[in-house]
Amino acid sequence: MVPVVMGAKKRDYEALAPPNSFIHVNDFAGPRQLADYLLLLDGNDTLYNEYFRWRAITWSFKDVRFWCRMCALLHLRDDVDYVNWYDDYVKWWNGACH
């Protein structure tokens, strides 16, 4: 499933979400153009799969905004009274956590 988003500005979504992981309604002139694109996407596996390429990326700390936000949200829970620490987060993320 590819999220179709609206409301916040596209740059706000880009600051939190992985690259090319959503469709923003403001990229289209109107509902008809968005609908046409979604129909195209539905019929084109190659184009559709482009929205999931970010999942295959071996993450580095070059751009951590998404992960920092995710971590912050996880630590907002009141029922969590522990902290996890990873000496090598990249190693953990790309191997041990699976």
My answer on whether 26 and 42 are in the same domain is: yes
My answer on whether 4 and 49 are in the same domain is: yes
Does the pLDDT value for residue 97 go beyond 60?
A: no
My answer on whether 46 and 72 are in the same domain is: no
Q: Which residue has the higher pLDDT, 58 or 87?
A: 87
Within 8 A by CB and 6+ apart from 65, the residues are 15, 16
Containing structural domain, residue 30: 1-56
Does the pLDDT value for residue 40 go beyond 80?
A: yes
Q: Which residue has the higher pLDDT, 69 or 10?
A: 10
Handedness of CA 42, 45, 48, 52 (dihedral sign): positive
Does the pLDDT value for residue 96 go beyond 80?
A: no
My answer on whether 4 and 51 are in the same domain is: yes
My answer on whether 42 and 69 are in the same domain is: no
My answer on whether 95 and 68 are in the same domain is: yes
Confidence of residue 73 (pLDDT cuts 50, 70, 90): low
Does the pLDDT value for residue 49 go beyond 80?
A: yes
